[in-house]
Chain A
Amino acid sequence: MSETVNDADFLLSSRGKGEDLGAWVVGATFSRDGKAAAFALGDGTLRLASTAELAGEWKRVEAHDGACLSMVADVASGFLTGGDDGQLLRTANDGSTEVIANLGTMKWVDHVAAHPDGLRAASVGKKLHLFGKAGKLREMEHPSSVGGIAFDTKGKRVAAGHYNGASLWFVNSKDGSPKVLPWKGSHQGVWFSPDGTHVVTTMQENSLHGWRLSDGQDMRMSGYQAKIKSISFTAKGRWLATAGADCIVLWPFFAGGPMGKPPMELAGGDGILCTQVACHPQHEVVAAGFDDGLVLMAEIASGKVVPVAAPGRGAISSLAWNPAGTQLAFGTETGFAGLVDLSKR
């Protein structure tokens, strides 16, 4: 038994660094320039690591008074976080911080998004606040609280998931009304496919919903055993990898799919719930984290699985690749965080 555990931990122990940070890891991500990695924690702090020396000391940043609620890579470098102190905050790679907006005391900045073209978005309750390079662009109101937000690849549209559907807003339009994609139920996270042709949401029920934007065709992806906390498209958008089952579930977005096509299942068999997925930025490889703390990588074509970190450090709550696809960051519900270098040596 101990031998398998040692094996599963080989990459983390030989090519990475792990640390117990003492609070729920809400987000793990790399900056767009790839120079820094950050962990956002439930105690309101961030930890920053320089990707040039993974084994170096991680810098503690007092970001939010309360909790970090969400984090994404900011526009060109650095990180964008939302907190329950009502702040939308930018933290540079070096740890210096700048308040982008104060969105109200006792208000929670639940979700954040950023785009390389200088766009930032943050949701507070029913409102989506949109910011451009020169400051605030507009505020958009929804019929109910926003469960997740996302920009499309080109930065032309921003989407918000909410009760009974998702709303798509054109970033540069002053239009008062969004294009609403309707579907009964509470929609939470929202994602565009990389080519911008589909929108997918995670739902309160254990299912996903999707829309083909060209004709509004609905896609129901159900049969999951748990709520889906994480989904990720492969680089060219051929596959949609999802958590929420005791394996990685991959829906084919080609050859007419996913409608009428069964999903592919990877890295299953031991009955442990997959909680996080992250697709490699170039190759058809998906990293996955599980409820028992296991982190692994799976190659879609071959189904070959390589363990990255062994179980036992808490359910994986966040997982991300660096832009080059050579490093992986992960965090757990019990506050363990890991960084692993996977580049060729």
Chain B
Amino acid sequence: MSDTDTTVPVTVLTGYLGAGKTTLLNRILSEEHGKKYAVVINEFGELGVDNDLVIDADEEVFEMNNGCICCTVRGDLVRILSSLMKRRQKFDGIIVETTGLADPAPVAQTFYMDEDVKRATRLDAIVTLVDAKNLAARLDDSKEAASQIAFADIVVLNKMDLVTEEEAAEVERRIRAINPYAEIRRATKSEVPIEAVMGREAFKLERILEREPEFLSGEDNHSHNEDIMSLSFEVDQPLDEGKFNQWIGELLQVKGQDLLRTKGVLAFEGQDDRFAFQAVHMIADGDYIGPWPEGAARKSKIVFIGRDLNRPRLRRGFEGCIAAPVAE
């Protein structure tokens, strides 16, 4: 791979039916940005999508034949994205709108599991639209609503005109309890600046954990008994790279189905550069991302967003990766 990134950015829009996905999509497409997008939609809403290149796909989730039941990809996306690459000069980016009930994991995993898709495209960000008025009910009656928030890089809290400030604050609290790392954008009629949702590079290793969480992560964030929660751990001492790889490898192998997203920025013993790590279920990606910022403490931090997370065990595991002290 050369330094110049020739891959096409892909933005994924998720959210329940009626949350405002199509309105946001049309907003993105109609804005004067001079960019052309190919749009993949999976269900026809009441609103049409006004664009030259709209592809109507059936969501098809395929298991990969590698013995791992959470290694699923979207077969329709593999086919469509591979085909779009044969005329990539015709657009600047791709937007994939999922159905309301879609689990975002197979979509995200497609960008890591399929070699053709990986070679030609990059996942820019997962944008989840939620309806401020109805989110609480959706969280209570479905599993997908929480998954969509857990996977989100940006949550657009839509239909703000329908709720009071207190109701909005409560909804935000529940979003943060699931995923304190997502950026929340309040909106009415899906009105958000286009740069808030496009070109975010949220899956770029260099940008992992760049944002401070909306909650201090010292305490457990699942006070409302959310099905999905996030945990974060930090250590000051450098980690042993081999120990970390072994621990995280085993952890993802065993617990990958419950771990929706894992992100870390790590200081390895004997390395001047930061190591960034991310995983979607058990599919992991990691690399050195350059030196620590001037004056920044060399702290290792890891964040898990998932179900049934055992805090003491994860903490012990992470702390167990601390490199043994060396005599100088």
Interface residues of A (CB under 8 A from B): 23-24, 26, 42-43, 66-67, 69, 84, 106-108, 110, 125-126, 144-145, 147, 163, 184-186, 203-205, 226-227, 333
Contact = CB atoms under 8 A, between A and B. Distances in A.
A84 B83 contact: yes
Given A43-B87, A84-B55, A163-B75, 12 more contacts: A23-B89, A66-B53, A67-B83, A107-B56, A108-B80, A145-B75, A145-B76, A145-B79, A163-B62, A185-B63, A203-B65, A205-B65
15 contacts: A23-B87, A24-B87, A42-B87, A84-B55, A106-B56, A107-B56, A108-B83, A110-B83, A144-B60, A144-B75, A145-B60, A204-B65, A204-B75, A227-B115, A333-B86
Contact of A147 (B63, B73, B79, B85): B79
Interface in B66-113: 66, 73, 75-76, 78-80, 83, 85-87, 89-90
A204 B86 contact: no
B86 A24 contact: yes
B69 to A, nearest CB: 12
B65 A185 contact: yes
Contacts of B89: 23
Given A145-B58, A205-B65, A42 B78 contact: no
A110 B75 CA distance: 14
The 10 A-B residue pairs with the shortest CB-CB distance in the complex, in nearest-first order: A42-B86, A24-B86, A42-B87, A185-B65, A186-B62, A106-B56, A67-B87, A205-B65, A144-B60, A186-B75
A205 B58 contact: no
Interface in B249-271: none
A202 to B, nearest CB: 12
Interface string B113-147: 01110000000000000000000000000000000
B79 A110 contact: yes
Given A43-B87, A106-B55, A204-B73, A184 B79 contact: no
A203 B66 CA distance: 13
B54 interface: yes
B57 to A, nearest CB: 8
A202 B75 CA distance: 14
Residue of B54, B87, B116 with highest tally of chain A CB at under 10 A: B87
A147 B60 CA distance: 12
Nearest to A143: B60
A185 B115 CA distance: 16
Contacts of A205: 64-66
Contacts of B79: 110, 145, 147
A312 B72 CA distance: 36
A110 B80 CA distance: 10
A163 B62 CA distance: 7
Given A145-B75, A226-B115, A106 B87 contact: no
Contacts of B86: 23-24, 26, 42, 67, 333
Contacts of B116: 227
A26 B62 CA distance: 25
A63 B220 CA distance: 60
Contacts of A185: 62-65
A144 B73 CA distance: 14
B25 to A, nearest CB: 15
Contact of B58 (A42, A110, A126, A203): A126
Contacts of A126: 58
A69 B90 CA distance: 15
A324 B17 CA distance: 57
A204 B54 contact: no
Contact of B62 (A84, A110, A204): A204
Nearest to B85: A24
A67 B183 CA distance: 38
A205 B65 CA distance: 7
Given A145-B75, A204-B78, A125 B58 contact: yes
Nearest to B78: A204
B52 to A, nearest CB: 9
A120 to B, nearest CB: 21
B60 A163 contact: yes
B68 to A, nearest CB: 12
Nearest to A183: B65
B9 to A, nearest CB: 19
B104 to A, nearest CB: 20
A185 B80 CA distance: 18
Contacts of B54: 106
Given A42-B87, A67-B86, A84-B83, A204 B64 contact: yes
A148 to B, nearest CB: 11
A163 B53 CA distance: 26
Interface in B278-296: none
Residue among A24, A107, A184 with the highest chain B CB neighbour number at 10 A: A24
A181 B70 CA distance: 25
A104 to B, nearest CB: 9
A227 B73 CA distance: 15
A126 B86 CA distance: 22
A204 B114 contact: yes
Contacts of B66: 205
Contacts of B65: 184-185, 203-205
